[in-house]
Structure 1
Amino acid sequence: MRDHTRAEQAAGFLLRLVDDETAGRIRERTGLPGPEDPQVVRRRLERAWAWGNLLPASVVLWILQEDDPDLNAMVWQFITTDAGLRRAVARGVPFGAGRTAPVPVHATLRGEEPEIPASYVRLGLTGTLRAARSMGAARAAASMVLTSDDWTAVAAADAEGPLPGYARWALAVRPDCPPALRAQFGSHPKFAHRVRRAGVLDGPADYARAHGSAAHVLQVLSMGWLLFPARAREAEDALRPLVHEHLGDRVEAWAVLAQLMDTFHGTAPELITTAGAIA
């Protein structure tokens, strides 16, 4: 069993959005391989990912929302600069909607909680956020916001009197910051740009439609059934109409898509429509 290439994984994800008969005929005519063996996919996940810092922060959050200790240990390497997420994982804080029971901490992560800021010990949560006068201090303070109760307290404190700009920034770029609180912080274009650059997305549909490059995004989505099954369908539903409209059962269009995949720099919708237009 060989690992599929990135292009094959990406095309395989799109082929799952058409019926099995059509997908089989496309694979036979284009040479694209069949569905990847689950054991091969799991082996790939167990290795160090090649995506590095190209994995947006929100994708990591969707994985953490599974509240799976093994997945948490796997994505630990991608949250090296987010002390808040690291602290939450190390403490077993659940991320899944409606979950309150602690998540078992993977054996490799026990004792790995980042250092607690000295200002937090003196001033408490809202006090240390209000005292932040640099980005470093703000990030350290924001790392102590862990539970839904913490986020509620932050929202109340900001409503009572706006938190310092650095604190708002450090909190807003956390992928687990509640959207309503992020909106409360402000809607200035520069603020929205900072949030976007931090890899914070509206959801899997936004990632599928607007993030690039297409091959990288589709490769990540091809493993969504293992990484973030609770959210994967949102991405599938976002792309399925485009696949049916522009590719459908047209073998030539799928062949063009496979040829473009590795060199195309646009988004997945742009790749799909371009392949259909060329064919």
Structure 2
Amino acid sequence: MRDNSTSGAAVDFLLHLVDSADAERIRRRIGLPEAEGDPETRRSLLWSWTRTAVPSSVLLWVLEEDDPELNKWVWRHVSADNAMRRAIARGVPFGHARVEPVTVAESVDVTDEPPVPVNFTRFGLIGALREGTSMQSARTAASMVLERSDWQTVTEADQDRPLPGYARWALSIRPDCPPALRAHFGTHRKFTHRVEQAGVLDGPADYATAWGPASDVLQVLSTGQLMFPARAAEAEDALRPLVREHLADHEDAWAVLAQLIDTFHGNVVELVVTAGAIA
């Protein structure tokens, strides 16, 4: 197992889902120290977080906190796209109840905001979306949909005259696309599957149980209370019954899990069930 800042944090996340006394005994058994809470360890975890590829919805959950100090980590994340970085640089709020702009952290260099697409300058938002003749050009145009009012404009334009297929798809795979608009674009099984494969998830429970590899998912979830506290409990609640059923207080099962986690390619559910079965 790697050091506690990576896979150690992943195992520690699952241990927090069982009785604290059992968790302490299991930590001693598998040689896992208690997670450190000092600033240096926290910073190491966050830098590791920015280098772990995640579905776009995970970054949206962080943005919904409307916290400048959290936004700066999204800005640095390998999975952040132009739309997210543009929104952060412009202080766009993502929380459902917030309307005022979000302060931009000093460490975010707004001069690095992605350039405004040429088609947007020439044709405006809807014109640029209608001009998109490829997925790349459509996604470039879609990156200019930032404010809630922009989504309303898009909705009204599509109702007036349906947007081209590329534009609809580029908008659908934006994690902040309003659910009603995405459902209007498509509801059949193949469409919803492709949207999920593009990184748009129903919520943290979906991410916790269906995404992989398990080590990466658990590493991200281990920062959940810090990065997306409003949604973190959904993932914990989804995994808690599974952990208690297959691992519980069985030291051998936890030891197997700690040995498997670095090389296991399946999701968290498969990891937990496999460790319990082997033990």
Please state how far the C-alpha of 1:134 moved relative to its aligned partner.
2.1
Q: Which moved more, 1:78-87 or 1:141-150?
A: 78-87
- Rounded Cα–Cα distance in structure 2 between residues aligned with 1:239 and 1:48: 23
Please state how far the C-alpha of 1:198 moved relative to its aligned partner.
2.3
Gapped runs of 5+ residues in structure 2?
A: none
Contact map agreement 2:51 2:78 (CA 8 A) in 1: no
Match of 2:215 in 1: 215
Match of 1:55 in 2: 54
Pair 1:92 & 2:88 matched: no
Equivalent pairs counted in the alignment come to: 277
- Rounded Cα–Cα distance in structure 2 between residues aligned with 1:15 and 1:21: 10
Please state how far the C-alpha of 1:62 moved relative to its aligned partner.
1.4
Please state how far the C-alpha of 1:39 moved relative to its aligned partner.
2.2
Match of 2:75 in 1: 76
Please state how far the C-alpha of 1:35 moved relative to its aligned partner.
2.8
Please state how far the C-alpha of 1:200 moved relative to its aligned partner.
1.7
- Rounded Cα–Cα distance in structure 1 between residues aligned with 2:115 and 2:79: 13
Q: Which moved more, 1:174-183 or 1:124-133?
A: 124-133
80 and 58 in structure 1: CA distance in 2 versus 1, 3 angstrom threshold: closer
- Per-residue CA deviations over 1:25-48 (Å, capped at 9, x if unaligned) read 211222222133242432214646
Contact map agreement 1:41 1:223 (CA 8 A) in 2: no
Contact map agreement 1:79 1:86 (CA 8 A) in 2: no
- Rounded Cα–Cα distance in structure 2 between residues aligned with 1:24 and 1:210: 28
Contact map agreement 2:50 2:73 (CA 8 A) in 1: no
RMSD between superposed Cα atoms in Å = 2.2
Counterparts of residues 1-279 of structure 1 (less than 5 Å)? 4-45=4-45, 47=47, 49=49, 51-52=51-52, 54-78=53-77, 82-107=81-106, 108-279=108-279
- Rounded Cα–Cα distance in structure 1 between residues aligned with 2:238 and 2:100: 32
Letter in 1 for 2:266: G
Q: Which moved more, 1:33-42 or 1:98-107?
A: 33-42
56 and 14 in structure 1: CA distance in 2 versus 1, 3 angstrom threshold: same
Please state how far the C-alpha of 1:173 moved relative to its aligned partner.
1.4
- Rounded Cα–Cα distance in structure 2 between residues aligned with 1:35 and 1:46: 14
Contact map agreement 2:211 2:267 (CA 8 A) in 1: yes
Contact map agreement 1:208 1:235 (CA 8 A) in 2: yes
- Rounded Cα–Cα distance in structure 1 between residues aligned with 2:100 and 2:80: 26
Q: Which moved more, 1:31-40 or 1:174-183?
A: 31-40
Q: Which moved more, 1:17-26 or 1:107-116?
A: 107-116
Please state how far the C-alpha of 1:74 moved relative to its aligned partner.
1.9
Letter in 2 for 1:86: R
What TM-score results when the alignment is normalised by the length of structure 1?
Answer: 0.90
- Rounded Cα–Cα distance in structure 1 between residues aligned with 2:136 and 2:192: 20
Please state how far the C-alpha of 1:197 moved relative to its aligned partner.
3.2
Contact map agreement 1:80 1:86 (CA 8 A) in 2: no
Please state how far the C-alpha of 1:189 moved relative to its aligned partner.
4.7
45 and 246 in structure 1: CA distance in 2 versus 1, 3 angstrom threshold: closer
Q: Which moved more, 1:22-31 or 1:79-88?
A: 79-88
Tell me, what secondary structure is at the counterpart of 1:111? helix
Please state how far the C-alpha of 1:140 moved relative to its aligned partner.
2.3
- Rounded Cα–Cα distance in structure 1 between residues aligned with 2:109 and 2:229: 23
Letter in 1 for 2:61: W
Tell me, what secondary structure is at the counterpart of 1:137? helix
Q: Which moved more, 1:125-134 or 1:168-177?
A: 125-134
Tell me, what secondary structure is at the counterpart of 1:238? helix
Q: Percent identity?
A: 60
Q: Which moved more, 1:130-139 or 1:253-262?
A: 130-139
Gapped runs of 5+ residues in structure 1?
A: none
Contact map agreement 2:5 2:41 (CA 8 A) in 1: no
